A and B are shown apart, each in its own frame.
Chain A
Amino acid sequence: MAETGHPTAVIQAQPVPLKRRLRNGAAALRRTPLIPMMILWMLLICVAFAPLIATHDPVKNEISNNHAPPSTSNFLGTDTLGRDVFSRIIYGSRISLALSLLVIVIGGGTGIILGTVTGYMGGLADALVQRAVEAILALPLILVALTFVFTFGFSFWNVIFILCPFVAARFARIVRGETLSIRERDYVAVAKVMGAPTHQIVLKHILPNVFNTVVVISTLEVGHIILVESSLSFLGVGIPPPNPAWGLMVADGRQYITSAYWITLFPGLAILATVLSLNLFGDWLRDTLDPRRRQL
C-alpha cells in the first residue's frame, strides 16, 4: 500500500520524538491498573503452580498443631484441624477461579447468545426468553441453590449447574437491552440495506458493540460468583469439604474469630483482593477496547 511519492508518506514517515514517546508511554502506564494486574497474575500463577507454591498438603489434618498463629513454618497459621491456611488459600484459588470461569463461559455465553439473537429478532422468541429471564431473576438464588444442593447432593458440578441459569439470565437481560438500542442505530440499517444476512448483522454489528458491556459484566460477575460460592460454602452447601474453597474457610473460622483471626481473615482478604482486582481490571479493559477512548 506504500505509495511512492505520495505526500502523506513523507508526513507518516517522520519519527515521533523520543521525549514524546516516553511521555506517551508514561501516560499509558499511569492508566494501566498495575496493582490489580499483578494480583491477578499472582492468582494465575497460584492456580497453575499450586503444588509448587504450597508448603503443606491442603487437606492433611494435624490436630496437635491446630489454631497455630502465623509463623515461619505456617505462614498464615493453621485452622481448627491443624491444616495450613496458606496452602489452603493457594489451592482454593483453583476452585474459585475454575468455578467462576466455567460459570461465565457456560452461563454468560448462553446469555449473550440469547440476548443478542432474541433482542435483534424480537417477536415471540424474545418474549419467551424475557419471561424466562424474569422468572429466574425473581427466584432467590441462595434459597434455590440450597434446596437444589440438598436434593442432588454436594458437588462442584452441582454448584456450577445451579449458578449458570442465574448468570445467563443476568447476561441475557443486559445484553438484550443493549442490543435493542444498537438495533436501531443507522449502521445496522445500513447493513440491512447493504444486503447483509441476519447472522452477519448479529455477528459483525451487534456483538462487537455489546462487547464492552459484556467485558464489564463478566468481570463484575466473576466477583459476584466468587462471593455466591463463598456464601454457599459458608452455609455448608457449596464446595464439599475438605476441599479448600475460600468461602468454606471463612465459614470454618467464624467461631474462633476472636482467638484465631487468621483462619477467617486471610481467605477473606483473598476474596476481597480478587474481586476488587477483577473489577478494576474490567474497567480498564473496557476503556482500552473502546476505539473512541483508546485515543484519549
Chain B
Amino acid sequence: MGAPMVMDNRTTKNGSTLLRVEGLKTYFLQRSGVLKAVDGVSFTVKQGESVGLVGESGSGKTITCLSLMRLVPKPAARIVEGEVWFRDQNLLSLPEREMRGYRGHKMAMIMQDPQTSLNPVYNIGNQVAEPVRLHLKERGQKALERVLEALKAVRIPNPEQRLGQFPHQFSGGMRQRVAAAMGLSTYPELLIADEPTTSLDVTIQAQFLALIRELQSEYGTSVIWVTHDLGLVAQMCDRVNVMYAGRIVESAPVRNIYKEPQHPYTRALLDSIPIMGVKRDKLYQIEGQPPDLRNIPQGCPFWPRCPSAMDICHEEYPHRTSLGGDSFVHCWLAEK
C-alpha cells in the first residue's frame, strides 16, 4: 500500500494497538440535506481490550461499527473522511476484494437479534462452517473439527448431535451462542458485538457475557461492545467511549467514567439508571430529544439539553481536553 505509515509500529503482543480510528465521518447524503451519522469519531482498541461504545439510540454507534467493516448502507451512506487502521493497514484504502478477507476473518460481528441472524434453511453445522470454508479454506473433516471446536467453545451441549439441527430447534440463548460460534470460528482478533444481549433474558444474558469474557481471556480477542446498557459496560469493558450526535464526547477507563464522569451527558446517562433499593418518585430522564442529525445545533450539540450550558456552548464545539492517559472529554466545563 502506498499509504504513509505515520503510525507507530508497536507490535508487542499485549497492549499493542489493534484498531485505530481517526476522524471517521460517515454521512447520509439525502435530498433534504446531509445527515451526519458519524461526525469525526476517533478511538483506539488495544489487543485483548474491551471497549464500550455507549449512547442513546441514533447516536451513531451502529453506523460507526458498520463503517469499520465498510458495510454502511449503500447508496445512502458514505464514508466521507477518516482512517481505520487495523494493525498496519488502513482498511478504508483497501480494495473491496481484500476487505472481504478482513470481514469475518480478522474482525467478526455478532448481531442484535439471534432470532433472525441464522439462515433457516441450513443446519447449524453448515452455517458455522461457512466462515471456516470462506476464510480458513478448510473443508470436510478439518472444517467439521473446527466447527465442533467452536460450538464447544461457546458451551453448546452435545455439539455432535446439534450439528445437524436447524435454527428453529434452538432457543434464543442457544442461537446467540451459535451466532457467537460463527463469529469466533475463524479466531478473529476483533469482535464487534452490536447489542448482543438485548433480546436475551437476564440469566441467559449473564451466561452469555461470562462466556464471552472467558473466550476473550483464552484467545486474547478484542471486543467492541455497542450498547446502551450501562450495566453491561460496567461488567465487561475496560474503556468507555460515550457517543452523542455522531461524536465521541467522552472517553475514559470504565472506573473513571463511573466515579467521576466529566461530560454532563455521561453524568445524565448514569443518573438515569435506577438504583436498587433507592426509592424515587420518577426515574431521572434527560430533558428533550437527541438532535436531528440533519440539523445539528451550532456549538456543542448537547447544549439544548445540558443543565449547565454556558454562552460559549452555543457558539463553538468544545476542544478535546485531555484527562490524562488516553482519556479525553469534549466539554467547555472541563476546559476551564
Binding site for B on A (CB under 8 A): 1, 3, 6, 8, 12, 123, 185-187, 189-197, 200, 204-205, 208-209, 211, 291-292, 295
Contacts and interface: CB of A to CB of B under 8 A. Distances in A.
Contacts, number: 79
A194 B182 contact: yes
A102 to B, nearest CB: 28
A8 B100 contact: no
B316 to A, nearest CB: 38
Contact of A123 (B75, B111, B135): B75
Interface stretch (B6-14, B16-24, B115-123, B222-230): B115-123
14 contacts: A1-B160, A8-B161, A185-B119, A189-B111, A190-B117, A194-B108, A194-B131, A195-B103, A195-B104, A195-B135, A196-B130, A208-B121, A209-B119, A291-B166
Contacts of B111: 186, 189-190, 193
Contacts of A291: 120-121, 166, 168
A114 B182 CA distance: 31
A197 B179 CA distance: 19
A209 B130 contact: no
A194 B134 contact: yes
Nearest to A2: B160
Contacts of A3: 160
Given A1-B160, A194-B131, 15 more contacts: A6-B160, A12-B161, A186-B113, A187-B117, A187-B118, A193-B104, A193-B109, A193-B111, A194-B134, A195-B102, A197-B100, A208-B122, A291-B168, A292-B120, A292-B166
Contacts of B161: 8, 12
B116 A187 contact: yes
Interface of B: 69, 71, 75, 99-105, 108-109, 111-113, 116-122, 130-131, 134-135, 144, 158, 160-161, 166, 168-169, 179, 182
Contacts of A200: 134
Contacts of A197: 100
Nearest to A209: B121
Contacts of A195: 99-105, 131, 134-135
A189 B108 CA distance: 12
Nearest to B148: A1
